[in-house]
Amino acid sequence: MSEYINITFPDGAVRQFPKGKTALDIAKSISEGLARKILAADVNGQVWDATRPINEDVTLKLLTWDDNGGKNTFWHSSAHLMAEAIESMFPGVKFWVGPPVENGFYYDVDLGDRSINEEDLRKLEVKMAELAKQNNFYTRKEISKKEAIQFFAEKGDEYKLDLLQGLEDGNITFYTQGGFTDLCRGPHIPSTGFIKAIKLTNIAGAYWKGDEKNKQLTRIYGVTFPSQKQLDEYLQLLEEAKKRDHRKLGKELGIFTMDDDVGPGLALWMPNGTVIIEELEKLAKETELAAGYKRVVTPHIAKENLYLTSGHLPYYQDSMYPPMELEGVKYYLKSMNCPHHHKIFAAEQHSYKDLPLRLAEYGTCYRYEQSGELFGLMRVRCLHMNDAHIYCTAEQFAQEFRAVNDMYIKYFKIFGIEKYVMRLSLHSKEKLGVKYVNEPELWLETEAMVRKVMTEANIPFVEVQDEGAFYGPKIDVQIWSTIGREFTLATNQVDFAQGRRFKLEFTNQNNEAETPLIIHRAPLGTHERFIGFLLEHYAGKFPTWLAPVQVKILPISDKFMDYAKDVLQKLKKADIRAEIDDRSEKIGKKIRDTELMKVPYMLVVGEKEVNENKASIRRQGKGDLGAKSVDEFLNEIVTEVKERRGD
C-alpha cells in the first residue's frame, strides 16, 4: 500500500499527502490562517470531522463558516456544548436529539420534574462560554453496540437507548468534548474554542418523536457564531426583521387577515391587499402578453381521474385536501394548475407551427399544509399562483427557457431584488423509478440543456443533486430581502414526463406525432408568499405604483375641503389612488397618521395653496418637498407609477 494518497481539490488540482493526514493538517499545509477557519471537511460528498484521518484517495473541500456544511457542523457542535452546560446545571438530565436548524440549533431534553426559565438560559450561556474557552477537542470514538448500550444504561438515559436500538453494530460512534459524551454520527468542529459568541434564544415544549401521545420534552434553542460581531449583527437583523414582520405589518396596513371561522391558512385579502394583488396581476399580464402568452381560466376542482393521470394521486395525496363526493364521483380541490392546462392543450390539434404555446393563469390552488407548518402568508392552504405552462419542441426549449429566466430578472429589477441565486436541482441515479421518472437519458439530456442555457446567459447558479421534481430538473429561485433574509420565491421546471402521461401531441415537420416538452414557471410565485416577502422587503413602504393609497390629501381645516375635493377629482381621473383626510384633527396629527400608514405622498392644502392653486408635497421618508402646482405633481406621479419606479 502506498504511503501517499491523492487529494483532489474543488478546482481540480490534485496533490499528494501522506496517508492518515486530516483535512485540518492539509489546511495547515496551505496556511495557518486557513486552518483557523476550517470547521469541517467535505470528503467525497460527505461532511466529515476536519480532524478525521484520511486514508485513501478522495475529493476534498475544506468547509468554513461560509459553507452550509461548515455552519451546520458549527451549530450542531454548539448543541453538544449546550448539552454539556445543561448537564452541569441539571445533573441527571436526559437527552434526546440536538440538530442544527435554519438559524442555530436546539436540543430536546428531559429535565425530569425540574423546569427551566429565561434566567437559567443566561446562566447556561455563561457556562457555555466558560467551556468553550477551555478549547476542548471533540473526539470521535467508534464503539460497539454492546458498550454503547452499557454506557447509557448506566447513565439511565432511556432516550439514547431508544436511539441505539435503531443503529447497526459497527456503525456507532461516540463523541466527547470536555466532560460530556454523546451518541452521535458527527461530524463536529475540531474544538470548542471556535465558538466565540453564544445566545440561547428560546424554550419550547416538544413531544418526544413529535407524537403528542408521548412525553413532552423541553426544547432549548440557541445560536452561536465564530465572532461576537457576527452575533451582534444577527441580533440586529432579528430586531429589524421583527419590525418588518409581514404578519404585524399586514395587520397594521390592512393588507390581509385570517379568521378562525374561515379556517387556518386561508388568508382573506382586505381592500389594501387586494390593490397590491391587482397591481401585481396587471404587471404579470402586461409582461406575459408582451412575451406571447395566452391567458386561460380553469375551475378550482377536478375529478379524481385527472389527478390519477397527472400522478398527483397517489404520490401527492398528503398535500391535497380530502376529496368531496358528488354523483358517485370523487372531486379534489386543485393543488396545481398544470393538469387543467394540459387538458386545454389537448383540446385542440397542434402542429409544430403553433408552438410554443404559452398558457398563463393566476390560478388558485389549495394545498394541505399541517397546521403546525402554517405561518402567516408564507405557509398557507390557499394560494394564488403566477402560473404558466409553455409547451414547446426540443429545438425551441433553450430560447423559451432563457426567456423565462429573463422574465425573472426583469421582475427582480422592478422590485429592487439585488441578491438572488438560482439553484439547479438535479435527479439522483439511485432513485430513478422511485422519486424520479425512470428515464435516465432524458434526465441527463434535459439537465444538460438547462445547464447550457444558464451558463450561456451568465446567470449565477449552483447545482444540487437529488432535489429535482418528479418529472424533470428544476430551478429553485432564492431571493434576499433588503435586510438580507433569504426566501424561496419560485421554481422554473422542465418536464418531459407529464406530456406523455397526458398523451399530449403535436405534428412535427415530418408529419409525425411528437410529445412537447413542458416548462412550468411562476416567477412571481404566489401572491401570498410574494406579498409576504414584499412587506418585509419594503418594510411596508411600498413604491408608489404598488401602494394601496398613493396620495393622501390633508386640508389644514374644513375651510379648504372644497379645494381638497377638486384635487381629489383630478387625481382620481388620472387613476391615482387618493383619499382626503377629512377628520377635524390638527394637521400635525393628520401627517403623523398618514406616515404610519406609509402612504407615499401627502398633499397639504391651506390658504396659501388654495390661492396659488398649488399643494404642499410631503414624500414618505423624504419629508417636505415644497409647494407645486397640482398639475405638475400629477404629471410627475403619473410617470412614476407608469414606470413602476422603485423609489
Cβ-contact 404, 519 below 8 angstroms: yes
**Distance in Å, CB of 80 to Zn ion, minimum:** 5
Q: Least separation, in Å, of the C-beta of 393 and Zn ion?
A: 19
342 versus 381: smaller Cβ distance to Zn ion: 342
- Residue 184 interacts with Zn ion (CB under 5 A): yes or no: yes
Q: Which is nearer to Zn ion, 391 or 415 (CB)?
A: 391
Closest distance of CB 633 from Zn ion, Å: 44
Say how many residues touch Zn ion, by CB under 5 A.
Answer: 3
82 interacts with Zn ion by CB under 5 A: no
> What cell numbers appear for 519 in the block?
416548462
Q: What angle do CA 320, 325, 330 make, to 5 degrees?
A: 60
Please state the closest distance from residue 299 (CB atom) to Zn ion, in A.
16
Rounded to a whole number of angstroms, the CA Rg of the chain reads 30
Query: How would you label 113-123 residue by residue, b for 16+ Cβ within 10 Å and e otherwise?
Result: eeebeeebbee
Among 109, 338, 551, 604, binds Zn ion (CB under 5 A): 338
Instruction: Determine the interface stretch with Zn ion among 275-283, 336-344, 466-474, 633-641 (rule: CB under 5 A).
Output: 336-344
**Shortest Cβ distance from residue 497 to Zn ion (Å)?**
12
Choose one: 114-122, 180-188, 458-466, 599-607; the region binding Zn ion (CB under 5 A).
180-188
Measured from the CB atom, the residue of 184 and 610 that comes closer to Zn ion is: 184
Site for Zn ion in 494-523 (CB under 5 A): 520
> Measured from the CB atom, is 198 or 338 closer to Zn ion?
338
Please say which residue, 40 or 604, places its beta carbon nearer to Zn ion. Answer: 40
Dihedral over alpha carbons 131, 137, 143, 146 (to 10 degrees):
-10
Least Å distance between CB 512 and Zn ion?
26
CB-wise, 184 or 603, nearer to Zn ion?
Answer: 184
CA dihedral for 462, 467, 470, 476, sign (positive or negative)? negative
- Quick check: 57 and 6 in contact, CB under 8 A? yes
Q: Which three cell numbers stand for residue 287?
A: 409582461
Separation CA 250–CA 381 (nearest Å):
18
Determine the residue type at 48.
W
> Distance between CA 134 and CA 129 in Å, rounded?
9
Q: Please choose, out of 5-13, 178-186, 400-408, 527-535, the segment that lies near Zn ion by the rule CB under 5 A.
A: 178-186
Q: Do residues 79 and 97 touch, judged by C-beta distance below 8 A?
A: no
What gap in Å lies between CA 38 and CA 50, rounded to an integer? 7
Minimum gap (Å) between residue 336 Cβ and Zn ion: 6
Min dist CB 557 to Zn ion, Å, is 57
- Whole-number minimum distance, CB 484 to Zn ion, in Å? 29
- Mapping DSSP onto H, E and C, the string for 372-437 reads HHCECCCECCEEEEEEEEEEECCCCHHHHHHHHHHHHHHHHHHCCCCCEEEEEECCCHHHECCCEC
Q: Is the peptide bond before 356 cis (omega within 30 degrees of 0)?
A: yes
Q: What is the helix (H) or strand (E) element at residue 221, kind and residue range?
A: strand 216-225
In the numeric block, the cell 398557507 is attached to: 380
**Residues 296, 232: Cα–Cα separation, whole Å:** 50
244 vs 520, which CB is nearer to Zn ion? 520
Q: What track of x and - describes contact with Zn ion for positions 289 through 328 (by CB under 5 A)?
A: ----------------------------------------
Per-residue contact track with Zn ion, 577 to 616, x per CB under 5 A?
A: ----------------------------------------
Q: 184 or 571, CB closer to Zn ion?
A: 184
Q: Give the DSSP per-residue string, 324-381.
A: EEETTEEEEE-S-SHHHHHHHHHTS--BGGG-SEEEEEEEEEE----GGG-BTTTB-S
Minimum distance from residue 601 beta carbon to Zn ion (Å): 40
**Is 537 among the residues that bind Zn ion (CB under 5 A)?**
no
Residue closer to Zn ion by CB (options 160, 590) is 160
| Least separation in angstroms between CB 236 and Zn ion | 30
The whole-angstrom separation of Cα 615 and Cα 553 is 9
Strand residues in 72-135 grouped as ranges (E) = 94-95, 100-101, 104-110
Closer to Zn ion by CB, 338 or 382: give it: 338
Judged by CB under 5 A, the stretch of 182-190, 474-482, 502-510, 605-613 that binds Zn ion is 182-190
Q: How far is the CB of 188 from Zn ion (least distance, A)?
A: 6
Q: Which is nearer to Zn ion, 69 or 540 (CB)?
A: 69
β strands within 482-622, DSSP E: 486-495, 506-507, 513-514, 517-521, 551-555, 578-580, 601-605, 614-619
Nearer to Zn ion, 479 or 518 (CB): 518
Binding residues for Zn ion, rule: CB under 5 A, are: 184, 338, 520
